[in-house]
Amino acid sequence: MKMALEGIRVIDVSEAGLAPVCCRILADMGAEVIKVERTEGGDQTRGILKISGNVPVYDINYVFEFYNFNKKGITLDLKQAEGRQILYKLVEKSDVFVCNFRPHALKSLGLEYETIARINPGIIYAHLSGYGVHGPEKDVGAYDFVGYWARSGVMASLGEPGTPLAFQLPGFGDNTTGMYSACAILMALFHRERTGEGQEVCTSLLGGGIWSMGIVLSSVLATGLEYPRVSRKDASNPIFNSYECADGKWVQLACIQGDRYWSGVCRALDICDLEKDPRFATHEKRMENHDALIPILDEAFKSRPRDEWAERLGREDIIWTLVRTPAETAADPTPWANGYYREIDHPSGKKLKAIMPPWQFSKTPPSLRKTAPELGQHTEEVLTELLGYTWDELTAFKEKKVII
């Protein structure tokens, strides 16, 4: 089956999560992505399970796999002139160049946009950074924990007032900003399809975080007022709130159109006597008296386990869901039915359950065609078959440690 990005070649000169996941999205849709890694150790994510301490260790490096499915992998020492010349030959034959090095490092390696565009004027050059390519922090490094989570206001906005700040989950900012970056690259490719023009495309973790915080920051920009953390005990709409059940598990109501769903909530919770209560009969009254209604709903939800509430809430036409743990989400049949997970054979001999992009295409769906490459797995293939180097030249490159 033909794929949406078949025929597009992407050079992935990046590490960690943000840029690699951007390129993985393109690869899943059919682009030929060639990952370029350092000869000494490769991408830092290859060792993430050993050094992080916050993610479980497993025989398969599932973090590196997630970021690098469907890619070919080569090694180049870009500090050597021969390594850069090999990369330049690859640039001549490619459509997209993706990097996440800081500007001063790109300039010292001869990989800044101006150099790459002279070699291939039609290329889409995507630079992904922590804080953007302009301003006083253009050369400051960042991971998503700082550039996205802490800096953009997300971290300060979550949790109950007065409690410690919420700790980011791994990859939260990388995966969202990586998706934004892939979208930007596709728009640039579409422009090139119509005009023949290549261009530079820049995204950052800070910009991605600001976009994700769009409603909150729009409020601040419009009013000039801080957007405070709000306790669930003080939710202005009590039926747009989370509630703990008898077994310690939670459900989330999201009935923003309060009057439309109030009667259904009352039936599900067996509190029909409150439906016409003057304190709660209208959306405005429930907002006015939320401090009285929330404890009533708290008590009601704590009378039954979550599974019983799921059955009762499911009978009503209201907006709600179960609050799932990661393990529960992994076993949830709905993502499996939609193709968000897929089980594949791994070269280790084990089965690996993998996450797919969150969309379906009727004609050109995403696919998982290969696992993440071993370090330098496709170096010889790419240099001989695509770039035309001889085996004698490869031997010389290996002797100089330009490749491994």
- 45 with 99, same domain: the answer is yes
Report if residue 132 sits inside a domain: yes
Cα–Cα distance for residue pair 119/107, rounded to 1 Å: 15
- 129 with 275, same domain: the answer is no
- 306 with 259, same domain: the answer is yes
- 134 with 200, same domain: the answer is yes
Phi-psi category of 132—alpha, beta or left, where left has phi over 0 and alpha has psi -120 to 50?
left
Q: Give residue for tokens 């050094």.
A: 51
* Single residue among 271, 287, 317 that ends a domain in this structure: 317
- 170, pLDDT greater than 90: no
Report if residue 324 sits inside a domain: no
Report if residue 113 sits inside a domain: yes
List the domain range (segments joined by +) for residue 106: 9-215+334-400
Average pLDDT score over residue span 70-96: 97
Q: How many domains does the chain have?
A: 2
- 309 with 340, same domain: the answer is no
Q: How many CB atoms lie within 10 A of CB 32?
A: 20
Phi-psi category of 112—alpha, beta or left, where left has phi over 0 and alpha has psi -120 to 50?
beta
Cα–Cα distance for residue pair 100/196, rounded to 1 Å: 25
Report if residue 50 sits inside a domain: yes
Report if residue 227 sits inside a domain: no
Specify whether the CB–CB gap between 15 and 175 falls below 8 A: no
Cα–Cα distance for residue pair 149/71, rounded to 1 Å: 28
Indicate the pLDDT class of residue 55, thresholds 50, 70 and 90.
Answer: confident
Q: Is 137 exposed, middle or buried (0-12, 13-18, 19+ CB in 10 A)?
A: middle
- 98 with 197, same domain: the answer is yes
Cα–Cα distance for residue pair 296/290, rounded to 1 Å: 10
pLDDT digits (tens, 9 = 90+) for 328-372: 999 999 999 999 999 999 998 899 999 999 999 999 999 999 999
- 3-state DSSP call for residue 295? helix
* Single residue among 317, 346, 369 that ends a domain in this structure: 317
Share of the chain above pLDDT 90, in %: 88
- 43 with 122, same domain: the answer is yes
Cα–Cα distance for residue pair 15/102, rounded to 1 Å: 12
Report if residue 353 sits inside a domain: yes
* Whole-number pLDDT of residue 52: 66
Residue 394: which CATH number? 3.40.50.10540
User: What distances in angstroms separate CA 294 from CA 150, 238, 262, 281, one per listed residue?
Assistant: 31, 6, 14, 14
Indicate the pLDDT class of residue 39, thresholds 50, 70 and 90.
Answer: very high
Indicate the pLDDT class of residue 48, thresholds 50, 70 and 90.
Answer: confident
User: What distances in angstroms separate CA 283 from CA 231, 240, 294, one per listed residue?
Assistant: 19, 11, 14
* Whole-number pLDDT of residue 20: 96
Cα–Cα distance for residue pair 371/373, rounded to 1 Å: 6
- 246 with 356, same domain: the answer is no
pLDDT digits (tens, 9 = 90+) for 260-317: 999 999 999 999 999 999 999 999 999 999 999 999 999 999 999 999 999 999 999 9
Classify residue 404 by its DSSP letter. Answer: -
* Whole-number pLDDT of residue 53: 64
- 147 with 287, same domain: the answer is no
- 351 with 387, same domain: the answer is yes
Report if residue 182 sits inside a domain: yes
Taking every pair of Cα atoms in the chain, the longest distance, rounded to a whole number of angstroms, is: 88
Residue 292: which CATH number? 3.30.1540
Report if residue 224 sits inside a domain: no
- 38 with 140, same domain: the answer is yes
- 51 with 178, same domain: the answer is yes
- Relative to beta strand 199-204, strand 96-99 is unpaired
* Single residue among 284, 317, 350 that ends a domain in this structure: 317
